[in-house]
């Protein structure tokens, strides 16, 4: 099965740089209809909080600013990056068409971070009991009943002392 972002990967890939640091993402940022779009995972690297609504809109918060963006591609949750970065307070947004690089610069220090592994706002489910079978008992040990018996299978052996000597070659008439 082909991943949904494969056509994007083969098309116009875009490098996103935030305050001089490359920010990778899966699916990667790309050009769609002349706009640079990227996934929510990329936006989470330079924002404080992202909420995704059922209709596909993203509510993004950074410091004291809150912006709402509609996903361009609902299946991949791709959002236009430049307008969202401006709304979040980016001081500088630059597009380099030759290198296909979108450079974003925010005021003050910014921590580029990955998504947290645990979301305390996510619905919690009570743990369930896991069935773990008890190990089986060890097989019985063999009982020693006395002197071991030799193997009864015949093995052909030809001792080297019984090899016939080579016959001499005949050189003359035989008597």
Mean pLDDT across the chain, nearest whole number?
Answer: 80
Containing H/E element for 10? helix 6-10
Q: What is the reported pLDDT for 162?
A: 59
Structure tokens at 137: 């008992």
pLDDT at 74 over 50: yes
Q: What is the reported pLDDT for 25?
A: 87
Q: What is the reported pLDDT for 142?
A: 78
Q: How confident is the model at residue 16 (pLDDT cuts 50, 70, 90)?
A: very high
Q: How confident is the model at residue 150 (pLDDT cuts 50, 70, 90)?
A: confident
pTM of the model: 0.57
- Bridge-based pairing of strands 30-32 and 65-70 is unpaired
Q: What is the reported pLDDT for 8?
A: 46
- Bridge-based pairing of strands 101-106 and 15-18 is parallel
Containing H/E element for 37? strand 35-38
Q: How confident is the model at residue 84 (pLDDT cuts 50, 70, 90)?
A: very high
- Bridge-based pairing of strands 101-106 and 90-96 is antiparallel
Q: What is the reported pLDDT for 116?
A: 62
| Distant-in-sequence contacts of 18-23, Cβ < 8 A, 24+ apart | 18/45, 18/46, 18/104, 18/105, 18/106, 18/110, 18/112, 19/104, 19/105, 19/106, 19/110, 19/112, 21/112, 23/112
Q: What is the reported pLDDT for 122?
A: 72
């Amino acid at each position: 099965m082909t991943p949904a972002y494969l056509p994007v990967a083969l098309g116009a890939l875009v490098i996103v740089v935030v305050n001089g640091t490359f920010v990778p993402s899966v699916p990667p940022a790309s050009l769609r209809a002349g706009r640079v779009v990227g996934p929510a995972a990329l936006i989470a690297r330079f924002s404080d909080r992202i909420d995704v609504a059922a209709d596909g809109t993203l509510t993004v918060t950074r410091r004291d600013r809150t912006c709402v963006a509609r996903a361009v591609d609902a299946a991949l949750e791709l959002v236009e990056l430049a307008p969202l970065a401006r709304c979040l307070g980016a001081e500088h947004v630059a597009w380099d068409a030759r290198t296909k690089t979108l450079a974003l610069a925010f005021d003050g220090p910014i921590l580029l971070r990955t998504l947290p592994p645990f979301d305390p706002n996510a619905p919690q489910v009570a743990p369930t009991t896991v069935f773990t079978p008890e190990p089986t008992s060890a097989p019985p040990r063999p009982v020693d009943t006395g002197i071991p018996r030799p193997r009864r299978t015949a093995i052909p052996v030809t001792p080297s002392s019984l090899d016939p000597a080579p016959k001499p070659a005949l050189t003359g008439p035989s008597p």
